[in-house]
Amino acid sequence: MKLKIHGVIIEISYPLTVIMTAVIIYDSSMSVLACFISVILHESGHLIMLKRYGCMPDRIRLTLFDIAIVDSSKPLRGTRQELFVTLAGVAVNIAAGTAALIPELFFGTDMLTLFANANLTLAFFNLLPAYTLDGGQALMIILSRRVDIRLAMLIQDILTAAVIIPLGILGFLVLLRSGNNFTLLATAMYLLAVLLMKSPHIHIGEKK
């Protein structure tokens, strides 16, 4: 499914549309809806900063496993601007989570708690120095300006592994303990899959 808003093409995969619709309908706890809104806020943070710099993206792709902002103007931005764009989503999540947390302390409503937890968790997760996450991208921006690109990529891979391995072990232990909570393990597997599929310097089975 394709939409065009202010010149930006938005592509939404049909599997994502079907699954999100079903989950929202049947999720009585509203936790998935809170997470979905948090993700939308996160991506809006990136878009707001891009608009501020006068360089709206060409295309936004939303799939079951990824949200990609195709931005051809990226090479034209300086280090500071690129860092602001990269970390804007995290900043919005922290602001939204904090804004919900303050009244939640006084009123203690479940929806405010879910909304605060979803935003703050998403912010923390995206600050991890793993490839494709905002923290990893921000680190790569800084490293690529200070060291050779190959060394920067090596450091990025090591840090990504340092995130994925303990996250996977912890996720496996949580699954064994709970019997049905596989969120952390799935997250680690997702990061590993994205790293292997999208890293420009990892080529599995490629012959030179």
Question: Number of folded domains in the chain?
Answer: 2
Q: Residue 88: its pLDDT value, please? A: 94
Distances (CA, A) of 182 to 151, 168, 175, 191: 34, 10, 5, 14
- One domain for residues 157 and 120: no
Q: Residue 84: its pLDDT value, please? A: 94
- One domain for residues 64 and 97: yes
Q: Residue 183: its pLDDT value, please? A: 67
Q: Residue 6: its pLDDT value, please? A: 63
- One domain for residues 63 and 137: no
Provide the domain limits for residue 31: 1-127
- One domain for residues 105 and 157: no
Coil, strand, or helix at residue 62? strand
- One domain for residues 95 and 108: yes
Q: Which residues make Cβ contacts (< 8 Å) with residue 131, sequence separation at least 6?
A: 140, 156, 157, 160, 191, 194, 195, 198, 199
- One domain for residues 123 and 137: no
**pLDDT of 39 strictly over 90:** no
Q: Residue 133: its pLDDT value, please? A: 86
Instruction: Label the pairing between strands 8-12 and 59-62.
Output: parallel
- One domain for residues 118 and 146: no
Decide which of 94, 127, 160 is a domain's last residue.
127
- One domain for residues 29 and 82: yes
Q: Residue 58: its pLDDT value, please? A: 77
- One domain for residues 185 and 145: yes
pTM for the structure as a whole: 0.76
Question: Residue 63 corresponds to which tokens in the numbers above?
Answer: 């799939």
What is the rounded average pLDDT for all residues in the chain?
Answer: 79
Q: Residue 202: its pLDDT value, please? A: 39
Decide which of 127, 157, 185 is a domain's last residue.
127
pLDDT bracket for residue 204 (50, 70, 90): very low
Decide which of 82, 104, 127 is a domain's last residue.
127
